[in-house]
Structure 1
Amino acid sequence: MPNERLLLIIEDDAAFARTLSRSFERRDYTVLLAANQEEAAALLEQHNPGYAVVDLKLKGNSSGLACVQMLHQHDEDMLIVVLTGFASINTAVEAIKLGACQYLAKPSNTDDIEAAFGHVAGSAEIEVTARSTSIKTLEWERIHAVLAEADFNISETARRLGMHRRTLARKLEKQRVK
């Protein structure tokens, strides 16, 4: 685990970023905030954080997965946790491949994130469920995989899935990940 308690938070929701920042500062972290990949890259020119928390879905052209890749290229030992309200198996696998040590669905609190920093190694002791994946879960994961491929563009995702944009919007609203 890195000795330096310098944490970079890449989050475009300013209120959530401030709350998370204050919470980590109370735990003796020094926190840097960035709203997108460009701001994070500028901070990396002057700082070398040992930890990072990255939101998967950022506004504009910035992608959380691209941020994870950039952070891992900057420092392979950096512990990176991805937070998302749009959890899917596809994005979780890609985040880990790109260098994240953990992937957490929102809402996650500071305790969850700090525990994720400490739980870097995998565990063979995790219980495998006997229940098979439901059709709804498979549909949900497919929608989110295509959504990520389309850079979170609802219209383009609906076109690729062959469904009406409003139908897709209703599906996304109905099964919001909590």
Structure 2
Amino acid sequence: MDNTSLIIIDDDASYRGVLQRRLAQKTEFEVLTFASTRAALQHTSRLRCHGIILDMMLAGESGLDAIGQLKQHFAPTHLIMLTGYASIATTVEAMRRGATDYLAKPVALTTLLQRLLASEVAVTSISPAVTLTPAQLEWEHIQRTLLDHRGNISATAKALGMHRRTLQRKLQKMSPRG
């Protein structure tokens, strides 16, 4: 392996610790962890960075907004966005900003290792079109609008023509559990 470090950025200390231990056991990488993108960007390690595992929803900041800076600072081979709130809109946005992969939490360690250790870009076969249910279409529309309004619930609710509390209930009820 020509790159020697992995960086985990997640504000959940227990998740970050478990992931660090498991990756350190299964790979030869030095695994560095940070609770925020700000802390990671202050790190000036001389190690080359093979990959960054970045949580999308960090306390007080968005992982999406930090992708460009992280890529410029560390030049990782892989930048994997992890989220508990996966949607097509945020997947597209993460990839547009430079993420190499996007995975929903919880993610199996084997899946994460496959993505991190892929020696070449895998060619994925095109799967047949999947028809979304009305609930899935509504979820995607809400997520796109939420992304357009930079996570602002009040502005999103106004744009969707619903009360803020109604939107919050829908987000909680419709949220993919995992």
Query: TM-score interval w.r.t. the shorter chain?
Result: 0.7 to 0.9
| Paired position in structure 2 for 1:53 | 53
Where in structure 1 do 4 or more consecutive aligned residues deviate above 3 Å?
A: none
SS in structure 1 of the partner of residue 49 of structure 2: coil
Counterpart CA distance in 2 for 1:116 and 1:124 is 13
SS in structure 2 of the partner of residue 127 of structure 1: coil
User: Aligned residues, how many?
Assistant: 174
Counterpart CA distance in 1 for 2:96 and 2:20 is 26
| Paired position in structure 2 for 1:169 | 168
SS in structure 1 of the partner of residue 102 of structure 2: strand
Question: Is 1:38 matched up with 2:2?
Answer: no
For residue 149 of structure 1, what is the amino acid of its counterpart? Answer: D
CA contact (8 A) 1:101 1:117 kept: no
Report the TM-score when normalising by structure 2. Answer: 0.86
CA contact (8 A) 1:83 1:105 kept: yes
Counterpart CA distance in 1 for 2:168 and 2:19 is 29
SS in structure 2 of the partner of residue 33 of structure 1: strand
Counterpart CA distance in 1 for 2:133 and 2:83 is 22
Superposed displacement of residue 77, structure 1: 4.8
| Paired position in structure 2 for 1:19 | 18
Counterpart CA distance in 2 for 1:69 and 1:8 is 15
Superposed displacement of residue 160, structure 1: 2.5
Counterpart CA distance in 1 for 2:90 and 2:98 is 12
| Equivalent runs, 1:69-84 vs 2, <5 Å | 69-84=68-83
C-alpha distance 148-14 of structure 1, shift in aligned 2 (>3 A): farther
Counterpart CA distance in 2 for 1:149 and 1:14 is 29
CA contact (8 A) 1:102 1:117 kept: no
SS in structure 1 of the partner of residue 33 of structure 2: strand
SS in structure 2 of the partner of residue 147 of structure 1: helix
CA contact (8 A) 1:82 1:95 kept: yes
Counterpart CA distance in 2 for 1:77 and 1:29 is 13
Question: 1:111-161: per-residue Cα shift (whole Å, max 9, x none)?
Answer: 2211122446252424223x4222221210111122223333323322222
SS in structure 2 of the partner of residue 138 of structure 1: helix
Point out the more displaced range, 166-175 or 154-163: 154-163
| Equivalent runs, 1:1-150 vs 2, <5 Å | 3-27=2-26, 28-43=28-43, 45-47=44-46, 48-60=48-60, 62-119=61-118, 121-129=121-129, 131-150=130-149
CA-based RMSD = 2.0
Gaps of 5+ in 1: none
SS in structure 2 of the partner of residue 82 of structure 1: strand
